[in-house]
């Protein structure tokens, strides 16, 4: 191993600071970065769709260049179909599918997938539940047998359920002490009038085997599901495997109200006031404070024509390192390690939020900065110098995601969850690139006002500054130890 004296190290360091002239005589530090290249297309092969006699939709995208296939069983019901008192039921049900069936133990399922050199994944979100396998194409038949078994024949073993509940509760208990997680957790009820999709301590504790088996029996059914194949498989082969393993899957008897969204929608407000309410969750001695702006937007769901403008708006505001929030809060002022924003899409609306963490003493300042950036979107303009690169972030990420079979299957699953034509995959890039600055301004002006600020942190350290920066807004304070999301006032 080479050894350097401190004098040699100093010389090396000094040399590294030297500016080497470029061939044209201009220093590298003053060269203008190259402009973004022209946007590329991401053509997706046609989706070949077939419906089995039992109502199961089979969708196939052939991509034969690499011998890998992802198969995703999508159930169009997730946390939106569970009662708030049983929050977390959808995810527990989906997670239990690989914990044992009538013919395989959890260990056997894991070992068989490992032997095939593949992977199996399962879980549920607000809009759907998913089980997927990814294997090389020569192992597809064996993987389909496992996928069908875990989907159709789970035994919901009491011991496995107890262990999963215990692990889930332990994780939730830990997360509820983290300001960032707690801020999102509270906003689900306070701002969005929904329950947390992952559950609450009381709801998780109340879930029984009968609850899990009942949710599975009611919603894991062919007429609520889509079987998506993406990769090295022909439509004929995929349809034959679907018939072989899922053709005898029968529909359960159920009431007509299935599939409804339990998350109540609130009416959009035309009030130009950006801040409607401020909620502080007092978490004494917390190392940091989380600052969230939350707004439920009614009437603009995932299938809306406003999806593209909203997506570009989000890229400009908080979709990455170069976004406005991160530039203002982290890069310019050093108040956080990162700041961002997102839309949580639903069938009939969307949940918008910004998020960041900072030291307690600067929580109020960060909240004010977030409001300022939202106001700029509604009142200012966005030049092409900023807009074109932010669109490129969206289209570039989209194209990269579609390069994998898993990403392609997930993108299709998103469309099927909301009843959107699969042709949307090939129009996404065009739709994004056609968004104009005026559309973003219009969307922000109409939808990003009258939201809530939720701050989780040590209130004593930012109380006075918060009152000074937001003198006309009433601040509601609740102790973290007193939180109860089942109550309208959030208090036990």
Count of positions (residues) in the chain = 492
Assigned token pair, 427: 């129009």
The alpha carbon of residue 215 and the mean position of all alpha carbons in its chain are separated, in whole angstroms, by 23
For 275-482, which CATH superfamily applies? Metalloenzyme, LuxS/M16 peptidase-like (3.30.830.10)
Residues 459, 477: contact at Cβ < 8 Å? yes
pLDDT on residue 262: 42
Angstrom distance (rounded) from CA 437 to CA 429: 17
Q: Name every residue whose Cβ is closer than 8 Å to that of residue 231 and which is 6 or more positions away in sequence.
A: 61, 62, 63, 66, 68, 69, 70, 137, 405, 408
Residue 16 pLDDT greater than 70, yes or no? no
3-state secondary structure of 147: helix
234 CB neighbour count, 10 Å cutoff: 14
Domain map (residue ranges) of the chain:
48-246, 275-482
Assigned token pair, 163: 């262990």
Q: Name every residue whose Cβ is closer than 8 Å to that of residue 393 and which is 6 or more positions away in sequence.
A: 315, 319, 320, 322
Enter the DSSP assignment of 379. Answer: H
pLDDT tens-place string over residues 370-408 = 999 999 999 999 999 999 999 999 999 999 999 999 999
* Terminal alpha carbon distance of the chain: 63
Residues 357, 289: contact at Cβ < 8 Å? yes
Angstrom distance (rounded) from CA 160 to CA 312: 44
Secondary-structure class of domain 48-246 per CATH: alpha beta
Assigned token pair, 410: 């997930």
Residues 378, 440: contact at Cβ < 8 Å? no
Q: Which of 43, 79, 68, 40 is nearest to 406 (CA)?
A: 68
pLDDT on residue 91: 98
DSSP 412-473: HHHHHHTT--TTHHHHHHHHHHT--HHHHHHHHHHHSSSEEEEEEE-GGGTHHHHHHHSTTS
Percent of the chain surpassing pLDDT 70 = 88
Assigned token pair, 462: 């930012």
The order of strands in the sheet holding 339-345 is 339-345, 349-358, 289-298, 451-457, 275-282, 475-479
Residue 17 pLDDT greater than 70, yes or no? no
pLDDT on residue 37: 64
Q: Which of 375, 395, 372, 378 is nearest to 320 (CA)?
A: 395
pLDDT tens-place string over residues 396-454 = 999 999 999 999 999 999 999 999 999 999 999 999 999 999 999 999 999 999 999 99
Residues 68, 139: contact at Cβ < 8 Å? no
Question: Residue 273: pLDDT band by 50, 70, 90 thresholds?
Answer: confident
Assigned token pair, 7: 């004098």
Residues 227, 58: contact at Cβ < 8 Å? yes
Angstrom distance (rounded) from CA 428 to CA 447: 22
Lowest mean pLDDT among 27-31, 87-91, 320-324: 27-31
Enter the DSSP assignment of 399. Answer: H
> Beta strand 339-345 with 451-457: parallel, antiparallel or unpaired?
unpaired
pLDDT on residue 311: 98
pLDDT tens-place string over residues 81-90 = 999 999 999 9
Report phi then psi at 349, rounded to 5: -175, -165
Helix (H) or strand (E) holding 201: helix 201-206
Question: Residue 38: pLDDT band by 50, 70, 90 thresholds?
Answer: low
pLDDT on residue 109: 98
**β partners of residue 464:** none
Residues 120, 109: contact at Cβ < 8 Å? yes
Domains 48-246 and 275-482 share a fold: yes
pLDDT on residue 160: 97
- Tokens 């029968």 correspond to 250
Average pLDDT over residues 227-241: 98
The mean of the pLDDT values for the chain is 90
Please indicate whether residue 22 or residue 208 has the higher confidence score (pLDDT): 208
Please indicate whether residue 278 or residue 45 has the higher confidence score (pLDDT): 278
pLDDT on residue 41: 67
pLDDT on residue 33: 63
Q: Where are the strands (E) in 261-410, listed by range?
A: 275-282, 289-298, 339-345, 349-358
Q: Name every residue whose Cβ is closer than 8 Å to that of residue 277 and which is 6 or more positions away in sequence.
A: 452, 453, 473, 474, 476
- Tokens 């960032």 correspond to 180
3-state secondary structure of 172: helix
Lowest mean pLDDT among 10-14, 162-166, 187-191, 246-250: 10-14
346's torsion region: left (phi>0), alpha (psi -120 to 50) or beta?
beta
pLDDT on residue 187: 97
Residues 63, 137: contact at Cβ < 8 Å? no
Q: Which of 126, 42, 84, 39 is nearest to 343 (CA)?
A: 126
Assigned token pair, 431: 């739709």
Question: Residue 259: pLDDT band by 50, 70, 90 thresholds?
Answer: very low
Percent of the chain surpassing pLDDT 90 = 85
Average pLDDT over residues 18-35: 48
Angstrom distance (rounded) from CA 45 to CA 60: 10
Report phi then psi at 182, rounded to 5: -65, -35
Assigned token pair, 242: 């679907």
pLDDT tens-place string over residues 166-221 = 999 999 999 999 999 999 999 999 999 999 999 999 999 999 999 999 999 999 99
pLDDT on residue 251: 85
Residue 38 CA: distances (Å) to CA of 383, 389, 390? 17, 10, 13
Question: Residue 44: pLDDT band by 50, 70, 90 thresholds?
Answer: confident
pLDDT on residue 254: 63
């Amino acid at each position: 191993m080479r050894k350097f004296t401190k004098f040699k190290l100093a010389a090396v360091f000094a040399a590294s600071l030297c500016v080497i002239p470029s061939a044209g005589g201009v220093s590298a530090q003053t060269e203008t970065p190259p402009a973004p290249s022209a946007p590329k297309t991401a053509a997706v092969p046609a989706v070949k769709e077939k419906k089995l006699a039992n109502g199961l939709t089979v969708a196939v995208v052939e991509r034969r260049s690499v011998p890998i296939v992802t198969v995703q069983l999508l159930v169009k019901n997730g946390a939106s179909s569970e009662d708030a008192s049983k929050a977390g039921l959808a995810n527990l049900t989906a997670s239990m599918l690989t914990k044992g069936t009538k013919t395989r133990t959890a260990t056997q399922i894991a070992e068989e997938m490992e032997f095939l050199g593949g992977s199996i994944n399962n879980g549920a979100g607000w809009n759907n539940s998913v089980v997927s396998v990814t294997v090389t194409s020569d192992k597809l038949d064996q993987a389909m047998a496992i996928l069908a078994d875990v989907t159709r024949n789970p035994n919901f073993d009491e011991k496995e359920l107890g262990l999963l509940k215990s692990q889930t509760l332990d994780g939730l208990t830990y997360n509820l002490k983290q300001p960032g997680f707690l801020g999102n957790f509270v906003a689900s009820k306070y701002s969005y009038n929904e329950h947390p999709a992952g559950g609450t301590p009381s709801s998780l504790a109340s879930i029984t085997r009968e609850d899990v088996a009942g949710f599975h029996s009611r919603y894991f059914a062919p007429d609520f599901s889509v079987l998506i194949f993406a990769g090295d498989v022909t439509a004929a082969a995929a349809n034959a495997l679907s018939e072989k393993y899922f053709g005898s899957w029968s529909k359960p008897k159920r009431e007509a109200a299935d599939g409804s969204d339990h998350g109540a929608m609130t009416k959009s407000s035309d009030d130009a006031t950006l801040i409607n309410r401020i909620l502080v969750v007092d978490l004494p001695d917390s190392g940091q404070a989380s600052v969230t702006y939350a707004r439920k937007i009614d009437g603009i769901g995932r299938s809306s024509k406003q999806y593209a403008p909203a997506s570009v708006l989000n890229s400009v505001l908080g979709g990455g390192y170069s976004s406005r929030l991160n530039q203002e809060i982290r890069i310019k002022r050093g108040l956080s390690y990162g700041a961002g924003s997102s839309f949580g899409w639903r069938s009939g609306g969307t949940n918008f939020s910004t998020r960041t963490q900072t030291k307690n003493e600067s929580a109020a300042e960060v909240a004010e900065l977030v409001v300022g950036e939202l106001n700029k979107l509604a009142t200012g303009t966005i030049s092409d110098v900023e807009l074109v690169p932010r669109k490129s972030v969206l289209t570039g990420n989209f194209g990269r995601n579609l390069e994998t079979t898993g990403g392609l299957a997930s993108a299709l699953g998103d469309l099927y969850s909301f009843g959107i034509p699969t042709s949307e995959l090939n129009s996404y890039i065009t739709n994004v690139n056609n968004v104009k600055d005026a559309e973003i301004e219009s969307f922000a002006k109409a939808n990003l006002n009258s939201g809530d600020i939720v701050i989780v942190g040590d209130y004593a350290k930012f109380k006075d500054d918060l009152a000074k920066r937001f003198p006309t807004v009433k601040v509601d304070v609740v102790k973290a130890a007193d939180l109860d999301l089942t109550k309208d006032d959030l208090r036990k």
